[in-house]
Amino acid sequence: MTESMARPEVPPWLYKLFTGHQYPYVRRQAKFAKKDRSADGEREEPTQDEIREKFWEIYPHCSAKMLQEVKTGMIVTFLELGSYEPGTFQAFVDAPEEFLAATYGKKKIKVNFYQGENFVCTINFKVGGWTAHEE
């Protein structure tokens, strides 16, 4: 089996979340993996291929944490709804809105991804017709 065949399907929204400019964790890891430096001592920006390879080094080791946003007055807190070890949240990846609605119901949910203890990225969902914080 080739390495590419072992890789799970990853939808474009998830790849962009991990590799885009909003959350630079994967991009930075690819940049710091470069050994060569320019004349001024800086590492060059990684290519798209280098970013893709670093994504596939990081993503399979990421866990996910589902959090419910709760607003009390002017304060927003997050209650942990569930945690998923690496490789156990493919149903969420395949159909995030449907998975969150079926598993946690109508809520505003934040999903954080971590590589070990390191924060990688986050995404927010308004699930199942959520319109406002419940009192």
Q: Which amino acid is at 89?
A: F
For residue 130, pLDDT over 60 is answered with: no
Nearest to residue 3, comparing CAs of 62, 56, 49? 56
Integer Cα distance of 106 and 5 in angstroms:
36
Q: How many CB atoms lie within 10 A of CB 62?
A: 21
Whole-model pTM: value is 0.85
pLDDT band at 2 (very low <50, low <70, confident <90, very high): very low
| Residue 131: predicted pLDDT | 57
| Residue 133: predicted pLDDT | 52
Distances (CA, A) of 5 to 64, 79, 91: 23, 37, 19
Report the share of the chain in percent with pLDDT over 70. 87
Residues 6 or more apart whose CB falls under 8 angstroms from that of 59 comprise 10, 18
pLDDT band at 1 (very low <50, low <70, confident <90, very high): very low
| Residue 6: predicted pLDDT | 66
The rounded mean pLDDT for the chain is 88
Residue with tokens 């390191």: 118
Bridge partner list, 121: 113
Predicted confidence (pLDDT) per residue in 62-110, tens digit? 999 999 999 889 999 999 999 999 999 999 999 999 999 999 998 999 9
| Residue 99: predicted pLDDT | 96
Distances (CA, A) of 55 to 37, 66, 79, 120, 126: 22, 21, 28, 11, 27
